[in-house]
Each structure stands twice: as C-alpha cells, then as structure tokens.
Amino acid sequence: MEAAPSTSPCRYSYEEYKETADWLLAHTKQRPKIAIICGSGLGGLADLLGDKAVFPYEDIPRFPTSTVPGHAGQLVFGSLQGRDCVCMQGRFHFYEGYDIHTVTYPVRVFYLLGVETVIVTNAAGGLNGSYNVGDIMILKDHINMPGFAGQNPLCGHNDIRFGERFPCMSDAYDRDLRAVARQTAEEQGCGGFLQEGVYCMLAGPSYETIAECKLLQMLGADCVGMSTVPEVVVARHCGLRVLGLSLVTNKVVTDYDSAEKANHEEVLRTTQRRTQDLERLVSQLIANI
Ligand SMILES: O=P(O)(O)O[C@H]1O[C@H](CO)[C@@H](O)[C@H]1O
Ligand SMILES: Nc1nc2[nH]cnc2c(=O)[nH]1
C-alpha cells in the first residue's frame, strides 16, 4: 500500500511519524516497550524513571506542544523496574485546538519506536454514584462521544502499515493487563479504592451540565473526561496493548440544589493526594507485566 498522498485527508504521512521516531531513536539509547501517558497532575509518574533522557516537546521534530496546567510538556525516556519506558509528561487535548490526528500523533510515534504496551492515565469526574473522590478506576471500556460526532482519529486515508481500515474496539482494554492491574492494586494496598468501569470522553473544555451528567449515567458511563479515547483508538489500530487508569478527581454534580462546581483546581488537588498511590501502583505494574 502506498503512503498517503499529500492531498489525503489524513493529517500526517507515515514518513512524518517516522521522522519523529527516528530522531528520538538517534537521541536516546533507550528502546522502550512500554509507554505511559500521564493525565492531568499525574506527570510525577515520569519522575519514577531512572537513567533519564528528557526531551521538551518543542525540541522534538513535528511534535505538538502542551498548553494545559498540570501537563509539563516533555517526553521522558528512562528505566523503571529494569524496563525501558517512555513517558509523556503532558498530553494533547482536542479542546486545546489540536485536530484529532495531532492529539494522537505521539501514539504512532511510540509504535514506530517499538512500544508494545501503553498505560494511559487520566483525571476524571465520577459519574457512578458508588465512586468516591480518590478512587482509581481501571478502564474496562469507553464511550467515544466525539467519535459519534465524526471526530475519530482514524478518519481519513488508512495507511495499512499502521493497521487495518476497520479495527475492532470490543477488546480495547486488554483483559490480561486488567487482571494484573487488579492483582497489583490489591498487593499495593489500593484495593479499598479500586474500581473497574466505563470512561466516557467528551470534547470539553466546559465541564458537564447536570442534564448531561444524568444522560451519561443512563448511557452506562462511570467516569467522564476529555482525553484518553483518541489515544486508545490509535493504539489499538496499530496493535498496541492498552491499560487505562482513571483517577476520580471529583464527583460530577447531578443535583440542581448542589453548590458544588467542577473545577480544575480540585482536579489537581486530588491528583496530588493520590499521586504516591498511583506511582506505587504503576511502578509495580510495570514489574508485573
Ligand atoms: O484527561 P486528563 O488529561 O487527565 O485531564 C482531565 O482534566 C482536565 C479537566 O480538569 C481535562 O483535560 C480532563 O481531560
Ligand atoms: N469532562 C470532565 N473532565 C474531567 N476531568 C476531571 N474531572 C472531570 C469532569 O468532571 N468532567
């Protein structure tokens, strides 16, 4: 199959992703098989890596840059539990004005680096009434709400070197990795605040209205956020195994008499509170997968 012609509606050609990957391979000795995408306020995960090589996004050819508080904006290569990893300290969101192909640009770069497993983390609002602020949810599925509206990162020319035209998503979140995550969470003392559920992505950046929260609850979503799903779709398209973890940073408001208001300060405060638990969990997970 030929590379996408320049007139293709696909935003980037194989050669562009490859240029970024080759530059990174030439600038680090690490050969990561595991990538970690850090959610809002969860960039501390990258600090766990030893023997680090750090690349600010603006120094990496063709890489987008990160604009959200709580997202540092650098790619960190290093070693964790004796395994080479690459960590995105700051992700890209659709609401920042990036098109959906740019949001997922790093995932195809990871694939070309030789990554096989992606651990995606995020901060999310709890929709499930039995969830508490501070809970960690293993993603077992997602609802791609922007995808319903035509914003799927696989729209456009399909380059078969990445994957097939119509990839399956019923196995998006790897069953074996979820089992390892459950077991590891128990061992690490996180069992008391562990959940497993469905993440729904909305485009953001406005938080949800009360009616929208009620709708999402009816749809079967347990958490809501503004990220993760595009990255997972692209990762699965190119055959990467995915583990998703949400930190429930706030409970969504579903009561018209409530004085609570969703806000990013609370989101970042909760991530600070749970950062050590998450770091312990992810670190041990990497040893166990
Ligand atoms: O999904 P991450 O990047 O963790 O961040 C979440 O937190 C921000 C809103 O507070 C949004 O960006 C939402 O997606
Ligand atoms: N959409 C959305 N994203 C979040 N990220 C963290 N909390 C929330 C939330 O309540 N809603």
Give the model confidence (pLDDT) of 27-52 as tens digits: 999 999 999 999 887 888 898 899 99
Q: Is the CB of 253 under 6 A from ligand 2?
A: no
Residues ≥6 apart with Cβ < 8 Å to 16: 62
Helices and strands: H and E segment counts in the chain:
8, 9
CA dist 250 and 82 (Å) reads 34
150 Rama sector, left if φ>0, alpha if ψ -120 to 50, beta otherwise: left
| Residue nearest to ligand 2 atom 8, measured at CA | 125
Convert the pLDDT of each residue in 114-125 to its tens digit: 999 999 999 999
pLDDT over threshold 70, residue 64: yes
Q: How many domains does the chain have?
A: 1
Nearest to 34 by CA among 49, 53, 20, 44: 49
Kindly report which listed range (72-76, 103-107, 201-205) carries the lowest average pLDDT score.
Answer: 72-76
Q: Please, which contacts does 167-172 make with residues 24 or more away whose CB atoms are closer than 8 Å?
A: 167/233, 167/236, 167/237, 168/236, 169/233, 169/236, 171/236, 172/141, 172/142, 172/232, 172/233, 172/236, 172/242
Q: Indicate the pTM of the whole model.
A: 0.94
pLDDT over threshold 90, residue 71: no
Q: State phi, psi for 67 to the nearest 5 degrees.
A: -120, 5
Instruction: Specify if 65 maps to a domain.
Output: yes
Instruction: Specify if 162 maps to a domain.
Output: yes
Q: What CATH code is carried by the domain that includes residue 199?
A: 3.40.50.1580
Q: What is the mean pLDDT of residues 220-247?
A: 98
Positions marked catalytic: 40, 71, 93, 95-96, 123, 226-227, 250, 264
- The fraction of the chain above a pLDDT of 70, given in percent, is 96
| Residue nearest to ligand 2 atom 3, measured at CA | 225
Q: Which domain holds residue 197?
A: 19-287
Instruction: Specify if 9 maps to a domain.
Output: no
Instruction: Specify if 13 maps to a domain.
Output: no
| Residue nearest to ligand 2 atom 9, measured at CA | 125
CA dist 287 and 50 (Å) reads 14
Instruction: Specify if 78 maps to a domain.
Output: yes
Buried b / exposed e over 63-83, threshold 16 CB at 10 Å, is bbebebebbbbbbbbbbbbee
Cβ(230)–Cβ(104) below 8 Å: yes
Convert the pLDDT of each residue in 176-229 to its tens digit: 999 999 999 999 999 999 999 999 999 999 999 999 999 999 999 999 999 999
Nearest to 225 by CA among 121, 115, 89: 121
Within 13 Å of residue 87, how many CA atoms lie on the same side as its CB?
31
Instruction: Specify if 12 maps to a domain.
Output: no
Helix ranges (H only) for the chain are 14-27, 100-103, 105-113, 145-148, 175-187, 210-219, 229-237, 264-288
Instruction: Specify if 134 maps to a domain.
Output: yes
> CB atoms < 10 A from the CB of 154, how many?
22
State which of 227, 272, 278 you would mutate to test the pocket of ligand 1, scoring each by most atoms of that ligand within 8 A of its C-beta.
227
The residue type at 73: G
> CB atoms < 10 A from the CB of 10, how many?
17
Q: What is the mean pLDDT of the chain?
A: 93
71 is in an annotated binding site: yes
Instruction: Specify if 2 maps to a domain.
Output: no
pLDDT over threshold 70, residue 2: no
Task: Indicate which ligand has the atom closest to the C-alpha of 245.
Answer: 1
pLDDT over threshold 80, residue 111: yes
